[in-house]
A and B are shown apart, each in its own frame.
Chain A
Amino acid sequence: MAVIAAYNLTKQFKNFTAVDSINFEIDDSECFGFLGPNGAGKTTTMKMVYCISPRTLGSLTIYGMDPQTDASKIKSIIGVVPQDDNLDPELTVEENLIVYARFFGLSRKQYRARIDELTSFMELEKKLKSRIKELSGGMKRRLVLVRALLNNPRILILDEPTTGLDPQVRHLIWEKLRELKTSGVTMLLTTHYMEEASQLCDRLVIMDQGKILLMGNPHDLVEQHIPKHVVEFSLNGSCLNMGTIREKYDCMIETYGSRCYIYSNSDSVLANICKNAKIQHKIIRNATFEDLFLKLTGRGLNE
């Protein structure tokens, strides 16, 4: 049974359609990603799931409940890590957690235990008495994650959980998220980091302009939708005829500004192209999820 199911889910604001009739089903204990450029409708979709933005059309259920009639119940089993750290700046770390736990109706005994457990899980136990402004960006993010876990959520919503963090903190957060996943928490994740999506997501969707362009497992999608290898080089100063190359070698070519990408399933074909066209300063590498993402959403010319 799908934990979250959306059919023809649509969100219209005054002048534009933020989410345009999308369909998805998210299974229990799955990590489901929403990717897309800014303004694609990812955050709006999340907000409809955690019941702070009413949908315009379509249907949306969370554990069979409708956000429009069962918001309090739904929100009691969801933990939210929003895009911006909206911690209470007037309160200390510990007070932030106590106040937030009370929003879920946790008793003193319950929240005491949860706060101890989770601050040590996220390695923040020494910071309990600190003020919010004394925390680094990484600590704030971990604190927001602790806060999101206070109610023992069955669904965790992560809106760009590691944006702006250093690699150490990012890897720590990924590690903790994997642990949570194995404990059975269903996760919804938005991110601009393709590596994050590949590392964490079982399935994901790529969105653009409110629509879902593609859905599936990130590794399968790369295999299905773009060739295995790519050569990347700068077009500056060269006068290559792309049309000829594409016809001759039967390969896919993309340009973004002065960068050129030639895709092929065979790396020897790519090596040949480079040799014959005298392309220097090139990189031949495996095609990644990011290549797929840019192919789908990029503004570059698709030749």
Chain B
Amino acid sequence: MSAITAPGILRRISSIWLRHQKCYCKHLLANGFPPFVEPLLFLAAIGIGLGRHIDSVEGIKYSHFVASGLLASTAMFTATFELTYGTYIRMEFEKVYDAILSTPVGLTDAFVGEILWAGSKGVFFSTAVLLTISLFGMVYSPLCLIAPLVGGLTGIVYGALGLIVTSYVKDINNFNFYVTGCCTPMFFLSGIFIPIRELPVFLQKLSYWVPLTHSVSLIRGLILGKVSMAHAGNLVWLLICIPIVVFIAVARIRKRLIA
């Protein structure tokens, strides 16, 4: 009898990532459409409407101020949807994980792969926004090329948070509570539209605990070419947050799936 060897952990995780990539790319045009077009709509609305009432924020045109933040929010939303509705459908309706878990891929492999996929979508979506806004001259520094990586970190954090929510949800409609009740407030609290320092003090304090706030600050610094120690703080905040939320997410989903 020959020795039994299972594929290594990297191979197991990447096989999950490749599965998602394959499904995503089957409808590349439809799936790739939103990240390119959504920022255009936002910026048009601001440029035509709101921007005429606000000259500048923190020394730059308001539409430019908002544009950089959209890289982060798009990463948050794509990762959130992927690991809430997407994961739930794969889990409960398509039974994809039943098939996956009967192969050498373990639960940790599968869901770390899943979260990394959310991170990759974060990279892809923020890259799309970056390309779009750079066409409008809203990018100030070559440091912007690093910004999609922050979009990736954002995707990982929000993917893991979404997975934690998914581990509790019994009915797909209940995701509305999370998306509208948590993600939308985070979107408005994160400093994309309103500079944090102009918020009431208690909201300023609250916004510090919103991961998106740190992503927005970091990405904005990179795009505007103004990077400081505060940005290093944002990065550290995100890097500490990631292992914590990923660990909780995998533990929670294990509790749900393995009876």
Contact = CB atoms under 8 A, between A and B. Distances in A.
B106 interface: yes
A52 B7 contact: no
A80 B102 contact: yes
Contact of A105 (B11, B22, B106): B11
Given A82-B102, A103-B105, A105-B104, A76 B5 contact: yes
A76 B105 CA distance: 9
Interface string A264-297: 0000000000000000000000000000000000
Most central of A73, A90, A104 by chain B CB within 10 Å: A90
Contact of B4 (A76, A98, A103): A76
Given A73-B5, A76-B6, A77-B4, A86 B105 contact: no
B103 A103 contact: yes
Interface stretch (B51-59, B93-101, B202-210, B220-228): B93-101
A249 interface: no
B256 interface: no
A102 B10 CA distance: 12
A77 B99 CA distance: 15
Contacts of B18: 99, 102
Interface residues of A, number: 33
B106 A71 contact: yes
Given A53-B259, A71-B106, A91-B23, A103 B100 contact: yes
Q: How large is the interface on B (under 10, 10 to 19, 20 to 34, 35 or more residues)?
A: 20 to 34
Contacts of B100: 103
A72 B6 contact: yes
Contacts of A13: 259
Interface in A1-51: 13, 50
B181 interface: no
B15 to A, nearest CB: 4
**Chain A interface mostly:** loop
Given A54-B258, A86-B94, A90-B26, A105 B12 contact: yes
Nearest to A62: B4
B99 A78 contact: no
B255 interface: no
Given A72-B6, A75-B6, A105-B15, A88 B26 contact: no
B135 to A, nearest CB: 32
A65 B3 CA distance: 12
Nearest to A52: B101
A75 to B, nearest CB: 5
B259 A72 contact: no
B8 interface: yes
A53 B98 contact: no
A76 B101 contact: no
A100 interface: yes
Given A76-B6, A90-B23, A105-B12, A100 B259 contact: no
B259 A78 contact: no
Interface of A: 13, 50, 52-54, 63, 65, 71-73, 75-78, 80, 82, 84, 86-91, 95, 98-100, 102-105, 147, 151
Given A71-B106, A103-B16, A105-B8, 16 more contacts: A52-B101, A65-B4, A73-B5, A75-B103, A76-B4, A76-B5, A82-B99, A82-B102, A84-B98, A90-B23, A91-B22, A99-B19, A102-B15, A102-B18, A103-B105, A105-B104
* Chain A to chain B: the 10 pairs with minimum beta-carbon distance, closest first: A105-B7, A103-B103, A86-B95, A72-B6, A102-B15, A80-B102, A76-B6, A72-B104, A86-B99, A76-B104
29 contacts: A13-B259, A52-B258, A53-B258, A63-B4, A65-B4, A71-B106, A72-B104, A72-B106, A73-B4, A73-B5, A75-B6, A75-B103, A75-B104, A76-B6, A82-B102, A86-B94, A86-B95, A88-B94, A90-B23, A91-B23, A100-B103, A103-B100, A104-B103, A105-B6, A105-B7, A105-B8, A105-B12, A105-B15, A151-B103
